[in-house]
Amino acid sequence: MPDFAKMRDQMEHGAGFIAALDQSGGSTPKALALYGVDASAYDGEEAMFAEIQKMRARIMTASDFNSAKVIGAILFEKTLNEAVSGQPVPSYLWENRGVVPFLKIDKGLQDEADDVQLLKPIPGLSETLAAAKEMGVYGTKERSVINAANADGIKAIVANQMDVAHEVINAGMVPIIEPEVNIHSTTKGEAEAMLADALMAQIETLGEGQDVMLKLTLPDVPGLYDALADHPRVLRVVALSGGYSTADASARLAKNHKMIASFSRALTEGLQRDMSDSDFEAALGSNISTIHSASIA
């Protein structure tokens, strides 16, 4: 089994960012289109996922994709059963690249109520967690969405996230709690202040060994989540770009000194399937350096 203590140390102290490589069925066509693979180039879901896996493998095997700048990677569930250079993806990431693997476990969002969208139920979660840990996966990521500053809704979304987090913790893994605040919300700043308070109230109930990570939208008020980042039960607070451009997200991140990046679009921006290997590596290396610089600013 991998050295989970070493993984924990890297996630708590590593100087880098978390690569979000967890495009799912809904987001994969757009990601492929940006990569230069039109929907007419594949037939059906299996062929689509085969194309996105080729893109992910190309990223993971690139020279700059290593623990010097990339300390973790979030994977889609189907990716666990894929191989890179003849190795299962989780073991390839840790053993060959020094990158800590996480698994996206959410199954989408419930319909909006009280201005939030809770996690849908996650059937078979205990079995999924056991299998993932056996493969060397360190933790999980689960996303829900806040669309407006509604105190009841925000308390409900944090409670919903913490219910899942406890299942992950009980399985011996570390959850990345992701209650995303919609960047287009007209009450984004107020929602973020409510979220900070609701998260702290729940995290204060965690005991020794019940560690979590947080993945939060870059806040309107820099430093808003610093107290959460300093809490002994929070290993790391990471930022999602949430639709901000790479330049805007990086500028906002540089003002939040206790957050690191967990971007997806910024990582793959400008990459094209038809690029030569040297051009691909140069473009990816530039993206990695940009995100890394903002994460350690």
Nearest of 134, 136, 78, 52 to residue 102 by alpha carbon:
136
Catalytic residue numbers read 178, 215
Q: Which residues of 190-209 are buried (b: 16+ CB within 10 A; e: fewer)?
A: bbbbbbbebbeebbeebeee
CA distance 175 to 103: 9
- Parallel, antiparallel, or unpaired: how do β-strands 139-146 and 100-104 relate? parallel
Q: How far apart, in Å, are the Cα atoms of 263 and each of 56, 98, 161, 253? A: 14, 19, 20, 11
> CA 204, 74, 37, 268: dihedral to nearest 10 degrees?
80
Tokens for 111, please give them. Answer: 């319909």
Nearest of 128, 134, 140 to residue 174 by alpha carbon:
140
User: Rounded to 5 degrees, what angle do the CA atoms 254, 256, 262 make?
Assistant: 75
- Judge whether 214 and 237 are in contact, CB under 8 Å: yes
User: Where do the DSSP E strands lie in the chain?
Assistant: 17-21, 70-75, 83-84, 87-88, 100-104, 116-117, 139-146, 174-181, 212-217, 234-240, 259-261
